[in-house]
Amino acid sequence: MEKAELTALLTPEGLRLLDALPRVESSDDIARVVTRLRRDGHSPDLVSAVVGQARLRTRAHAKFGDLAERMLFTRAGLEQATRLPIAARHAARFRDAGLARVADLGCGIGGDALGLAALGMRVLAVDADEVTAGIAAYNLAPFGDDVEVRHSTAEASDLSEVDAVWLDPARRTAGHGETTRTRPEDWSPSLEWVFDLARRMPAGVKLGPGLDRDLIPEDVEAQWVSADGSTVELVLWSGALAREGVRRAALVIRGGGADAEARAYELTAGADAADEPARELGEYLHEPDGAVIRARLIGDVARTLQAGMLDEHIAYLTSDAPLTSPFVSTFHVREVLPADPKALSKALRERDIGRLEIKKRGVDIDPATFRTKLKLRGSGAATLFVTRIGTRRTAILADRV
């Protein structure tokens, strides 16, 4: 969204038009709405802004639920925004630490600031992009004087009247639409500046889950977060926001959606967990959640499952005990099949398997391409693991538990 579109949108006429539109979900919906609005004499900037916002509101339901219907977005801002249930959990940590005034530096469209304000904190929300700051101001307006939004940089912000900070450094190129990832040395504010601030006051720092672990300071709590099987972020907590004795944490959130209460499970430790030794394939195969893998807590999970590593270099666990946990997806092993596509295709046809979930680790295959080689036919369903055990490529047929 450009400034002219935002200016056109933030008028009584623009907001009435937006609120009156039905949900826009397809390209046909967009074409019909654009044609009608242009026929009614609305300006190109207003039509573009209103239709674009209607489409973004539809997409935003996955992160913000029904609240999306009263919010404004940019495409990039929505993609980078924290899901509302996760933002609420982050905000609760500030509240529970007794931190009443929080600066959200790099607030984007205001997702995390919404969580903080909703729990009664006073929030200073700052963003370096003028359009994004304007959208955040709109989204946070219902909180009145409890939230102040500024168009500024994190580095130029006066933090003398806040108790703690939430930082979300810009890790992509500037813009409101298509953006690309940048290197840590190019982030804004820089990681060096962020970590220096986190040493001086309580801070939560939202980063990508794939951050080089060598960059993580030794004196912070590192919490990897996954939502419904997707590892979505790494948060570094410092000062009063870091839990005593915790340096590694995996927070796993399942189900619920933005409008319903999700189930949350967490594994914590004072350091990386030692792995369990590798063992022969057993009756069950366990796939650790991505947050557990990133936090390097696989060994702790393995011990609760009476499991071992399938291979010391591959993040699969195996056991004979009929146990599972929220930190893994568990599969009952049927059999080991030939890994060669031609022989495997024949074996799957003999077993009447036509629907196949393909998972791979430690092997250089593309599951989509591999699937076409199997020429699946049949009425049955299963999961196929293509992996490496030692130097041998292995195909394991299994069923979800």
Average pLDDT for 221-232: 95
Which pLDDT value is given to residue 174?
60
Q: Do residues 146 and 24 both lie within one domain?
A: no
What is the pTM (predicted TM-score) of this model? Answer: 0.90
pLDDT at 270: 97
Q: What is the pLDDT of residue 179?
A: 58
Spell out the long-range contacts of 183-189 with Cβ–Cβ below 8 A and sequence spacing 24 or more: 184/211, 184/212, 184/215, 188/106, 188/128, 188/153, 188/154, 189/105, 189/106, 189/153, 189/154, 189/155
More confident residue, 362 or 170: 362
Q: What's the CATH number where 242 sits?
A: 3.40.50.150
| Residue 125 covered by a domain | yes
Confidence of residue 177 (pLDDT cuts 50, 70, 90): low
- Tell whether 233 is covered by a domain: yes
Residue 185: predicted pLDDT? 73
**Residue 29 confidence class, pLDDT cut points 50, 70, 90:** confident
Instruction: Give yes or no: residues 163 and 257 share one domain.
Output: yes
> 7: pLDDT confidence band, cut at 50, 70 and 90?
confident
What average pLDDT score do residues 264-290 get?
97
Confidence band for 6, pLDDT divided at 50, 70 and 90: confident
Residue 374 CA to residue 361 CA, distance in Å, equals 18
Residue 280 lies in a domain: no
| Residues 162 and 87 placed together within one structural domain of the fold | yes
Give the residue from 211, 240, 269 where a domain finishes: 269
Same domain, 244 and 182: yes
Tell me how many domains the chain contains.
Answer: 2
Q: Are residues 21 and 108 in the same domain?
A: no
pLDDT of 182 > 90? The answer is no
Pick from 217, 121, 212: nearest CA to 166: 121
Residues 165 and 42 in one domain: no
pLDDT at 178 over 70: no
- Same domain for 239 and 132, yes or no, is yes
Q: What percent of the chain has pLDDT over 70?
A: 96
Range of the domain at 34: 3-60
Q: What does pLDDT average to over the chain?
A: 93
Same domain, 113 and 49: no
Residues paired with residue 382 on neighbouring β-strands, in sequence order: 356
In 3D, which of 73, 280, 62 has the Cα closest to residue 176? 73
Q: Are residues 50 and 93 in the same domain?
A: no
> What pLDDT is stored for residue 28 in this prediction?
86
Asked if residue 184 belongs to a domain, the reply is yes
Contact 211, 196 (CB under 8 A): no
Residue 244 in any domain: the answer is yes
* Residues 39 and 90 grouped into a single domain: no
- Asked if the structure places residue 100 within a domain, the reply is yes
pLDDT in tens, 54-78: 999 999 998 999 999 999 999 999 9
Q: Choose one of 269, 290, 321: the last residue of a domain.
A: 269
* % of residues, the chain, pLDDT over 90: 81
Same structural domain for residues 196 and 243? yes
pLDDT tens digits along 197-215: 999 999 999 999 999 999 9
Residues in the chain: 401
pLDDT of residue 276: 97
Residue 136 counted as domain residue = yes
Amino acid at 272: D
Q: What is the mean pLDDT of residues 282-308?
A: 98
Residue 175 confidence (pLDDT): 55
pLDDT at 180: 63
202 and 110 in a single domain? The answer is yes
List, in order, residues 6 or more apart from 275 with CB less than 8 Å away: 298, 299, 302, 309, 312
Question: Which pLDDT value is given to residue 193?
Answer: 95
Q: Which of 1-15, 48-62, 312-326 has the lowest mean pLDDT?
A: 1-15
pLDDT score for 170: 82
pLDDT band at 184 (very low <50, low <70, confident <90, very high): confident
* Rounded average pLDDT over 245-271: 86
Does residue 322 lie in a domain region? Answer: no
Residue 304 token pair: 């609760």
- Inform me whether the pLDDT recorded for 176 exceeds 70: no
Domain end: 269, 294, 327, which one? 269
